[in-house]
Amino acid sequence: MMRKILFLSAWFFLTALMAQENTGTPLSHGHYNTDKFKQLTEELPSPNMFRTASGAPGPAYYQQRADYEMKAYLDDRNQILKGEATVTYYNRSPDQLDYLWMQLDQNIRRPNSLSERTKGDGPGVGYQPQKFVETFMGKPFEGGFHIEYVRYPGGTPIPYTINETMMRLDLKDPLPPGASVSFQLKWWYRINDYTITRGRSGYEHFDEDGNNLYIIAQWFPRMAVYNDAEGWQHKQFLGRGEFTLEFGNYDVYITVPSDHILEATGTLVNRKEVLTKTQYKRYKKALHSFEKPVKIVTLEEAVEAEKHFSGKTKTWHFKAENVRDFAFSTSRKFLYDAQAVRIGDRVVLAMSLYPKEGAPLWEKYGTAAVAHTLKSYSKHLFDYPYHKAVAVNARQQGMEYPMICWNYGRVRPDGSYTESTRKGMQGVIIHEVGHNWFPMVVNSDERQWGWMDEGLNTFVQLLTQESLEDNFDSRGYPKDLVPYLSGDQSQLEPIMTQHDMVRNSGKNAYHKTSAGLYMLREFIMGHELFDFAFKTYANRWKFKHPTPADFFRTMEDASGMDLDWFWRGWWFTTGVNDIGVKDVKFYVVTDIPTQRVKNMAKAYGMKVEQFPKMLYLVSPGSEDFRKEMLDKTNPAEDFPILKDYLEKHFTAEERSRLKNPKYFYEVVFEKPGDLVMPILVDIVYEDGSKESYHFPAEIWRLNDEEVTRVFATEKKISKIVIDPREITADVNKDNNVWEEKK
Ligand SMILES: [Zn+2]
């Protein structure tokens, strides 16, 4: 009995020893990887009744609502916008509010604004005369809101305090939970020439015909967001970090010169009044035109209109429900076309407005790009919820609002354009129309987190461009991010950085986020798990306000994957991925007990024959001996212990289908990079065939520096390639390939 127990323990000891040999490098090399796989409990806010640990809105989730009834008047001669609003604010929070905060974004263009005073980046590349005068000659652009009144509907003034781009309204009576308050505002501001001052709105002037093209946004005092995550989100507008906005209903009258064509967020209520009979008929036709756009305003009509300047006015009336913002664009230069797109069981209108300077490009690709975006994004996320999507052609622009966006893309004077102009224009339309999902509907806090709208959107944009055309030269792939990641490390910051603090937003918030999502979909989660989880996130948070934790948690909750290591590495650090092949060792198989086994037997006071019979991988010592062994060895035939086992457990037919490996390789993978990452590896055989392997990131959990795998193959390996498709943002390719010495 004792003898048998001793024997068994030797057996287990031996088995354990063999197992450890097979997993390669002992743990004395490298170190346990507790940090990189540690859960994000310290980085993420604690789940609560508002936001659950699964990443979904909780039972106490709430959001405020702000409805706006507004009138806007455009003074086209002086580029001034005047506005009046009645705002109704609904307090659905559990908190009593003594005051309200509104955003005065136009105040970024006040002389000596906070944004101006906090610029620390030296001279510009060059200065247009107006900009030079504004900057250095004491005549700054006099932008910013002029507030004429803030009052209750009866006329009682509401005291207010303006702090740069934010305004606090001190309510007469505190606003209790569940109550609403209405108040009125009147204001005006000078519209900026955005081609000089930059910005996400303004006008573009055309010297040849004296006309302006207006893209009007951030044009009214907007309610700041109040929520469970931030309280009042009233972080100042510095120009980079975009907007944080409540949903609400809009009823807006916009008065412009009578010869303007105008589009805006929402449903055009008085279409019959503002369009000519002919234009109205064409619009009706567009509702049934699924193949190509119908021109509502033609080139001839637009060219004729830009020769005149009407002294009369016309009022356009729009209504929009459950949107987070309202923008419009107006000019007498506009051509205008529209096409019907079927989304689910609804018909959505894709539309474009563009001056003749963009016409040859936009007639062909503008509305078509809008239509393609609506279909593609609806497939990847959820059906487009609004009745229309409008793309406006505005020089140098790329900016998004609910249902309407501004996009660059002009032709040369002779009407020609390059392929890169064409792709750039399609790309910006896809991107800006795509923003209807993130952040217009999945309404994240842009002021805080640029990546939550820009990065997620850049990723779906990439998928949308892939389905539009092969080799579109999309931004957002891991490979193209390598120069940024491996460049000047002092210029990098984690994705989880407030957007105004990000130096290279294009690379960080847009590209790195997109590349991260691409990696998750391509090889960390796979398409099926990723697509389900990503859709779950979008659907859980549509028409709501998600935070980063809600995204991270939902992606794990819906996929059944612990991704904390990936969020930690890719989102919270600036670490890079670098995996390589460090060493390849050859083995042959034998049934002769190795010296190690003999030593063990001796230590247990046993004879080696008393040990169970096993097969051993042994290093052949010399290349000649290896060849000799390989010539002889056919494991399934040559080793009685294996042969007996096979015959006992498998039929001849089954045996013929088993692999019969002859070559045994121990491959040591090294990881000089900080990040843990799956190992993607192609094994190429001497006959040119290959096999692809994928080892999940958890392979690094016990050793952060190197791991070892044994490959048993029937054919000789000629080459081992790490990350063969270049999809892991591996910053150093020098160690990615091992080749058999010839
Ligand atoms: Zn964007």
Q: In the chain, pLDDT over 70 holds for what percent of residues?
A: 95
Q: Are 244 and 297 in contact (CB under 8 A)?
A: no
Q: How far is the CA of 399 from the centre of ligand 1 (A)?
A: 7
Q: How far is the CA of 171 from the centre of ligand 1 (A)?
A: 36
d(CA 109, CA 87): 24
What does the pLDDT read at residue 21?
43
Residue 656 scores a pLDDT above 90 = yes
Residue 8 scores a pLDDT above 60 = no
Q: How far is the CA of 380 from the centre of ligand 1 (A)?
A: 18
Q: Nearest CA to 439 among 321, 567, 324, 554?
A: 324
Q: How far is the CA of 430 from the centre of ligand 1 (A)?
A: 10
Q: The tokens 């009125």 sit on which residue?
A: 184
Give how far the C-alpha of residue 686 lies from the chain's centroid of Cα atoms, to the nearest Å: 41
Say which range, 82-91, 109-118, 215-224, has the weakest mean pLDDT. 109-118
> What would the pLDDT profile of 536-561 be if each residue is shown by its tens digit?
999 999 999 999 999 999 999 999 99
> What would the pLDDT profile of 307-321 be if each residue is shown by its tens digit?
999 999 999 999 999
Which two tokens mark 579? Answer: 């995996």
What does the pLDDT read at residue 612?
84
Residue 207's pLDDT band (cuts 50, 70, 90):
very high
What does the pLDDT read at residue 32?
61
Residue 24 scores a pLDDT above 70 = no
Which two tokens mark 541? Answer: 């948070």
Q: How far is the CA of 439 from the centre of ligand 1 (A)?
A: 9
Residue 1's pLDDT band (cuts 50, 70, 90):
very low
What does the pLDDT read at residue 33?
67
When pLDDT is averaged across residues 86-101 and rounded to a whole number, the result is 98
Which two tokens mark 483? Answer: 């120069």
Task: Tell me the residue ranges of DSSP E strands in 35-79.
Answer: 65-75
Which two tokens mark 646? Answer: 């096979």
What does the pLDDT read at residue 28?
42
Q: How far is the CA of 642 from the centre of ligand 1 (A)?
A: 62
Q: How far is the CA of 398 from the centre of ligand 1 (A)?
A: 7
Q: How far is the CA of 730 from the centre of ligand 1 (A)?
A: 26
Helices (H), 151-290: 194-197, 271-274, 277-286
Residue 26's pLDDT band (cuts 50, 70, 90):
very low
Amino acid at 45: P
When pLDDT is averaged across residues 352-379 and rounded to a whole number, the result is 98
Buried b (16+ CB within 10 A) or exposed e, 177-209: eeeebebbbebbbbbbbbbbbebbbbbbebeeb
Cis peptide before 47 (omega within 30 of 0): no
> What would the pLDDT profile of 460-514 be if each residue is shown by its tens digit?
999 999 999 999 988 899 999 999 999 999 999 999 999 999 999 999 999 999 9
Q: How far is the CA of 681 from the centre of ligand 1 (A)?
A: 35
What does the pLDDT read at residue 4?
47
Q: How far is the CA of 231 from the centre of ligand 1 (A)?
A: 26
When pLDDT is averaged across residues 351-377 and rounded to a whole number, the result is 98
Residue 665 scores a pLDDT above 80 = yes
Q: How far is the CA of 454 from the centre of ligand 1 (A)?
A: 5
Q: Are 478 and 458 in contact (CB under 8 A)?
A: no
Q: How far is the CA of 390 from the centre of ligand 1 (A)?
A: 16
Q: Nearest CA to 503 among 432, 574, 443?
A: 574
> What would the pLDDT profile of 685-698 be if each residue is shown by its tens digit?
999 999 999 999 99
Distances (CA, A) of 242 to 155, 262, 453, 634, 690: 33, 25, 10, 67, 48
d(CA 331, CA 526): 47
List Cβ neighbours of 528 (8 Å cut-off, separation of 6 or more): none
Q: How far is the CA of 119 from the centre of ligand 1 (A)?
A: 23
Q: How far is the CA of 529 from the centre of ligand 1 (A)?
A: 26
What does the pLDDT read at residue 12?
54
What does the pLDDT read at residue 31?
58
What does the pLDDT read at residue 23?
41
d(CA 84, CA 313): 17
Residue 10 scores a pLDDT above 60 = no
- List the strands of the sheet with 737-739, edge to edge: 690-695, 679-685, 717-722, 737-739
Q: How far is the CA of 497 from the centre of ligand 1 (A)?
A: 17
Q: How far is the CA of 432 from the centre of ligand 1 (A)?
A: 6
When pLDDT is averaged across residues 64-74 and rounded to a whole number, the result is 98
Q: Are 514 and 431 in contact (CB under 8 A)?
A: no
Which two tokens mark 679? Answer: 């190992």
As beta bridge partners, residue 710 has 666
Residue 216's pLDDT band (cuts 50, 70, 90):
very high
Q: Are 600 and 13 in contact (CB under 8 A)?
A: yes
- Top mean pLDDT of 69-78, 467-476, 733-742 is at 69-78
Q: How far is the CA of 160 from the centre of ligand 1 (A)?
A: 33
Q: How far is the CA of 2 from the centre of ligand 1 (A)?
A: 74
Task: Tell me the residue ranges of DSSP E strands in 556-704.
Answer: 580-590, 616-618, 663-670, 679-685, 690-695
Q: How far is the CA of 552 from the centre of ligand 1 (A)?
A: 21
What does the pLDDT read at residue 352?
98
What does the pLDDT read at residue 29?
46
> What would the pLDDT profile of 560-576 be if each residue is shown by its tens digit?
999 999 999 999 999 99
What does the pLDDT read at residue 6?
45
What does the pLDDT read at residue 193?
96
Task: Tell me the residue ranges of DSSP E strands in 65-122.
Answer: 65-75, 80-90, 97-103
What does the pLDDT read at residue 526?
98
Q: How far is the CA of 457 from the centre of ligand 1 (A)?
A: 7
Element (DSSP H or E) covering residue 146: strand 146-151
Residue 197's pLDDT band (cuts 50, 70, 90):
confident
Q: How far is the CA of 427 from the centre of ligand 1 (A)?
A: 11
> What would the pLDDT profile of 609-647 be if each residue is shown by its tens digit?
888 889 999 888 777 877 877 777 788 888 999 999 999
